[in-house]
Amino acid sequence: MAKELELKYGCNPNQKPSRIFMKEGELPVTVLNGRPGYINFLDALNSWQLVKELKEATGLPSAASFKHVSPAGAAVGTPLSDVERAIYFTGDQELSPIACAYARARGADRMSSYGDWAALSDICDKDTALLIKKEVSDGVIAPGYTEEALEILKTKKKGGYNVVQIDPDYVPEELEIKQVFGVYFEQGHNNIKIDESLLQNVVTANKELPEEAKRDLLIALITLKYTQSNSVAYAKNGQVIGVGAGQQSRVHCTRLAGGKADNWWLRQSPKVLNLPFRADIRRADRDNTIDVYISEDYDDVLRDGTWELFFTEKPSVFTREEKRAWLDQMTGVSLGSDAFFPFGDNVERAHKSGVCYIAQPGGSIRDDNVIETCDRYGIAMVFNGVRLFHH
């Protein structure tokens, strides 16, 4: 390992010189392939912390898909159903637990994950490397790689794919320092431990939190700890299914994340699963086409006649009524918020996306209204007392 690493440039090509370095000791990362940049390392170091904490909290192999210093997806390595395999486009290849975790993390929001940075809590194996190889991705960080996995990854991007190995035992200094406009900022590292002890204070009439809901709430909260604030995350089946990041208004976070969760569920509908795609369509074009098909704009695409670019025959329109009927079947969703809900409108929006469990800090002057709104829909809500802002 080295003490410093020169980078091509900073956030933008005009921002030179650029490097990462340690004031004391050596860098905890080693570049095994490629040449990661400034934003790559921001994604790598944030995503590594997320997956490390996810594994510590759940005991399961964990993965994340990062874009611009926020997760597009995060998940633990539970087995995939046939429908999940279909919507994540894994094919019928073998999937180890860590490969399942990455398939879930990458597949939650495929539009946002395009060109992602991947993070793995465990050693990257052949199954995971083969999944990553199929996708448009900038790089991966993991505590290690099997020889076979590393050789697979080295063939990606004409040999330039970024592969970073991190020391899993590395512990950062207690104080964090950064500079903005020549001014230094210092704060203690966010060492708050997110575990089931934060899920004890259920403030609603419904006190029931099944084990799966607890797991999903922990996944949502740990994901939020490394998401640009304000942020809200929806989770189900051991994975985040919608992230709303960096919004100034909390209800806009809830709407944005809810829209992504809806998209995830709509992709599992028979109408989407049975779309007659052309065999030669590229993966990214297929993802974009599915997004357009689900959207309200698809009527225009059909009328324009461009369906022939993507399908072997013209699909019928996915009507608003059909979509709503399918969405009404989604339930058991967990939601985490990095700060308190100021109004009950957040709960109203969350309910439309099947949310049954909520974890948030509490502390709003309108907490009574938020609790009352939860009680109206039978939602169980926890006040965890912990704000998770990340900037």
Q: What class has domain 195-266+329-383?
A: alpha beta
The pairs formed by 292-300 with CB atoms below 8 angstroms and a separation of 24 or more are: 293/318, 294/263, 294/266, 294/267, 294/318, 294/323, 296/320
Instruction: Specify the pLDDT at position 379.
Output: 98
Residues shown for the chain: 391
Q: Map tokens 């575990």 to a residue.
A: 195
Please tell me the distance from the alpha carbon of residue 115 to that of residue 246, in angstroms, as a whole number: 19
Q: Which of 40, 46, 230, 237 is catalytic?
A: 230
Per-residue pLDDT of the chain (391 residues), as tens digits, is 678 899 989 999 999 999 999 988 999 999 999 999 999 999 999 999 999 999 999 999 999 999 999 999 999 999 999 999 999 999 898 999 999 999 999 999 999 999 999 999 999 999 999 999 999 999 999 999 999 999 999 999 999 999 999 999 999 999 999 999 999 999 999 999 999 999 999 999 999 999 999 999 999 999 999 999 999 999 999 999 999 999 999 999 999 999 999 999 999 999 999 999 999 999 888 998 999 899 876 766 666 667 888 899 988 889 999 999 999 999 999 999 999 999 899 999 999 999 999 999 999 999 999 999 999 999 999 999 999 999 9
DSSP state of 81: P
Please tell me the distance from the alpha carbon of residue 129 to that of residue 141, in angstroms, as a whole number: 12
Clarify whether 189 is annotated catalytic.
no
Please tell me the distance from the alpha carbon of residue 81 to that of residue 85, in angstroms, as a whole number: 6
Q: Map tokens 């089946």 to a residue.
A: 237
Interhelix angle for 126-134 vs 97-107, to 10°? 20
4-166 against 195-266+329-383: fold identical? yes
Clarify whether 214 is annotated catalytic.
no
Q: Map tokens 């995503």 to a residue.
A: 47
Please tell me the distance from the alpha carbon of residue 367 to that of residue 199, in angstroms, as a whole number: 17
Q: Which of 87, 71, 92 has its CA nearest to residue 291?
A: 87
Best CATH choice for the domain 4-166 from the list 3.30.470.20, 3.40.50.10490, 3.40.140.20, 3.30.70.100: 3.40.140.20
For strands 4-7 and 18-21, give the pairing: antiparallel
CB of 73 closer than 8 Å to CB of 101: no
Q: Map tokens 């929806």 to a residue.
A: 234
Q: Which of 68, 134, 252, 390 is catalytic?
A: 68
Residue type, 124: C
Here the tokens at position 6 are: 């020169």
Instruction: Specify the pLDDT at position 301.
Output: 65
- Angle at 243 (CA atoms; ends 142, 336), nearest 5 degrees: 100
Q: Map tokens 């199954």 to a residue.
A: 127
Q: Which of 64, 103, 70 has its CA nearest to residue 87?
A: 103
Residue type, 127: D
Domain chopping of the chain, boundaries: 4-166, 195-266+329-383, 270-317
Q: Map tokens 């390595």 to a residue.
A: 77
Please tell me the distance from the alpha carbon of residue 80 to that of residue 375, in angstroms, as a whole number: 33
Residue type, 139: G
Clarify whether 351 is annotated catalytic.
no
Q: Which of 52, 55, 67, 260 is catalytic?
A: 67
